[in-house]
Amino acid sequence: MSVHGFPPPSAVAAHRVTVRLTPTRPGRRPPVVDRHLRVTLPAPPPWPLLADVLVAPGPGASAADDLAAAHPGAAVVAVHQETESCWLRLGPYGHAPARLILNSRHMSLCPWPTWASLAHAWLSASLAPAEWEDMTVRMLETATGMR
């Protein structure tokens, strides 16, 4: 992907991400592959407006709501405080969101941006929370050089 007149995604924290969700029990549901654009703020225009997933430092759930209001095209917004907590807001602005609060134990397993991408895959697959328990998740690709 290229947008003329703007910094390339490799110059900012914009990543094309692919997540594959595979059921651990055969026959339950087919695998799900989700591809999306994840942007870590601050990032110059137009990348935040193009993002499916936004990740930014911030003080909590209200900051996630404010970020979603400013970027209504983002399906997932993750606002974090260093390694302590992360507030995920799932669902586009203007709709009742699902919310997840992650803690330092989650951060020890994988970084906040990875959790945000996983949440996008979950949302895109229309998985009920009970179905999420039965999934194996692998991050297949993170690319910064988009063409």
DSSP H helical segments within the chain, as ranges?
47-50, 61-70, 104-109, 112-124, 129-132
pTM of the model: 0.81
Summarised one tens digit per residue, pLDDT across range 31-42 is: 888 999 999 999
- Cα distance between residue 124 and residue 61, in whole Å: 22
Contact criterion met (CB below 8 Å) for 51 and 38:
yes
Who contacts 42 (Cβ-Cβ below 8 Å, separation ≥6)? 56
> What residue segments make up the domains of the chain, in order of their start?
9-142
Tell me the average pLDDT across 77-97: 88
Among candidate residues 45, 1, 15, 28, the one with its CA nearest the CA of residue 116:
15
Local confidence band at 25 (pLDDT 50, 70, 90 cut-offs): confident
